[in-house]
Amino acid sequence: MTQFFSLLLWAGAGLCFVAYYLDQSDPANLYLGIVLVIVVTLTCVVTYMQNAKSEALMASFKKFVP
């Protein structure tokens, strides 16, 4: 979650929430901020699952080495 692109998305979400706080007449900034938070969270979960699978695979390869 600390990759550069993820940090940029978090910053964009934060700016969307600040923009909504400053002008609450248009909820588009709120929706965009929520969508960005969801995207970053889903990306984090998928990346974690992929890393866990690859670590399990590497651990299974270590069993084959005498």
Q: What is the pLDDT of residues 25-64, one digit of tens each?
A: 989 999 999 999 999 999 999 999 999 999 999 988 888 8
pTM here is 0.81
- List Cα–Cα distances, 34 to 4, 6, 9, 30, in angstroms: 19, 14, 11, 6
Q: What is the total residue count of the chain?
A: 66
Domain boundaries, the chain: 4-64
